[in-house]
Structure 1
Amino acid sequence: MIRNAILAVLIVASPAAALAQDAEETARLEQRAEDIVAAMRGEAVYDEVFADNFASAVPEAQFEAIQGQIEAQFGPLIGVETVEAVAPAGARIAIRFERGRASGSFALEADAPYEVTGFRLSEMTPIGDTVAQFLEDVDALPGEVGLLVSRLGETNPLAARNADQQYAIGSTFKLYVLSALAHSIANGERGWSDVVTLTERSFPSGELQRWPQGAPITLQTLATLMISNSDNTATDQLILELGRDVVEAEVVASGHANPEATFPFMTTREMFVLKSGDEVDAGQYLGSDIASRRQALASLRGVERDMDAVLAAFTGGPNMIEVEWLASPDDLASLLQRLVALGDETAFQIMGVNTALTPAMQDEWDYVGYKGGSEPGVLNLSWLLRDEAGDWTVATFSWNNPEEEVDQSTLEMLAMRAVALAREN
């Protein structure tokens, strides 16, 4: 999606002229809205609808791919539903699909030929969707998919697929670190405001890898960066502060069905270094017992790795996705239920900084918490949701494919549909 600011133009004219101009501008915006939809259908010349700056930023092939993703989830394009002028050269637009509405905005050049300089769809609203249709679309995905959408504590989920199967979950593992920290604080062992010294350094995502070593930082700040920004250095620092054994104990306490499969509980740096070099054979590591894995990780502590080597290891497609943090949808639901039972408001606030929902979807819930994770071939999206009645819902989705990368936008649209279905049901 392209995020171009809508241009505002100040018009000074007589009332009669202004009315005529308003009608002309409204007609122009409505026509361009129809032109945009015609381009989406492939019935208009792309370069005659969109200005050069937009066409350069979003080539026609990319535009068609986005359109295809939307139709795959929400059915065939029907047409323009509404156009609402918000400035002489800009408007809000709603486009109807068979099973949904796409809402957004577009902007035009100030002068003829008034080509589209910006077009953004920021909201997808499912309409007439069903759980059966949703699951049918999930089943069409390549690779392995597991999901669970359910009220916490209920035995009959709204939707489920392979909910007891273990999947690589990427950075969603950081919820286990958050839970371990929150329980340590509840036990009086630590406080959210405790200050520690930054000693760890991992690789992006995040920003703390650029901070100076020795910088003071609170546990709450580390946890907030870990969850909201998926900061890997913050994560590793918390694992160090808590102790690997404490985080592993939290995995067990949460009800994880197969904790040994993800032990030893790696730091992010250990995972990056392990999978980007030959000091430890990843295949042998996977087949080793836990004690041998611990020795292997210990041997990597002093190994240096530059960013180019790490990028090379994770940009050529899936890289031994079994060497990861593993959990099933059921496991993640149990972890989230444990956090709900603890009732730590600071932990909830941390999970609510980045909800990964549009503002309109977020407003439909009393509380939204989120964490996701990915690497090539791995994607997880997990939400903790509370409605106005105080009932909690978990929605967690894992998609693994060891053969090829998975498409994040596809799973995100499926997840949005599931969250909407959960609200309706």
Structure 2
Amino acid sequence: MNSPLRRRQFLGLSAAAAVTAALAACGGPSTSGGSAPQAAADVDFTGVKPAASFDFWSNHPGQSEDAEKKLIAAFQAKHPDIKVNLVTGGKDYEEIAQKFQAAQAAKSDLPALVVLSDVWWFRYYMNKSIIPLDGLLKQLDFQLDDFQKTLVDDYGYDSKQWAMPYARSTPLFYYNKDRFAAAGLPDRAPKTWAEFAEWAPKLKAVSKAQYSFMYPALAGYAGWTLQNNLWGEGGGWSKEWDFTTDSDANVKALQFVQDSVYKDNWAGVSSKDSAVDFAAGIASATLASTGSLLTVLKNAKFNVGVGFMPGGSVSTSPVCPTGGAGLGIPAGVPKEQQLAAATFLKFVTEPENTALFSAATGYMPTRKSADMSAVLAKTPQIKIAMDQLTVTHKQDNARVFLPGADQEMAKTAAAILTQKADVKSSLTDLKGKLEGIYTKDVKPKLGK
């Protein structure tokens, strides 16, 4: 018979193995290759006419292929002279990034519009592989004031706009309303992690579940969601380009996280997908992307509650990071294709179309004026995610601007949460690695 300790150790080893396998498959684009065929400077589109067709590369985030096809059909009905060729660029953000890098190196078969995740787009800025969109946004009269500011700001650097928000998400706190009620807890997310630590033993007492809480799978999620814990204690992976990884605030935050797994024994770490684990009843609460909401609601056999991300002892808001992907326009393709792609980009980000995409996937509407009434009538939980969007925090430079940093954060989190590594020394080692990436791969290219 497995004891709780052995069960926890087994899951920890599974999670660590999953991190290793996932990171091995996610080498990602290089930042040391040659320059793109066209410099990423302002492009003059005066007198340019849109091309008759262009390629749109997508990994169909949130199983959105059908929604993308509907948007393309609607666009072509409105713009019959522009054909959009939807191309599956990969099964995830990493694959589409690698394929895009290969196309850039070969200087052939480039798309005119491509999905760029939050942790990949900046290296394309550094490699001059994408063009700034400012001129196109002005020429095509994008209503920027109506976009969610935080989502747009995520793609801004050097006083220019390098992509526009598309499949955007935030993490949410998911909880089992039935178990919360049985434990006599309020029907809401905890305001702070300290409050949830008080609730956790009550949840374990009334539940047959192994865990009161399940941390998300570390590969691809650790660097993202742990910003919540760090910010709540006044810390963060970095402050601009100052790497604060091993600060006292960060050590305090991640010591709490480690203690919840080992010392206090109320939390576990998902080896693959915490949303799936939660829906299966393995844990009474978890953190997962808003993009998982529709799937959780469909699969859970209990009443699902969602709430804002918990705060910490220093800050209770804003402690929620944005995430997901945007759309960028590559350099090295004809201006006519770039203009056609920008015309489609404007269309898919119009209020009614971002509402359609949100309804189909669970991602955030990128426009303030998007009419979400029909969506909310069917899935009222989305309102919580929309409300939280107004108090989100732009991600730390260290997570989204350093090539490969997300992988290093995941490795460090795996050591702390699945191998009980010393928190302080692990974060100190991570700081050195992040500083090395910055010095070698980023700093030399900034301002060029």
Query: Which TM-score applies when normalising by structure 1?
Result: 0.24
Give the structure with the larger strand fraction.
Answer: 1
Query: Which TM-score applies when normalising by structure 2?
Result: 0.23
Q: Which has the larger radius of gyration?
A: 1
- Structure with the greater relative contact order (CA < 8 A, sep ≥ 6): 1 or 2? 2
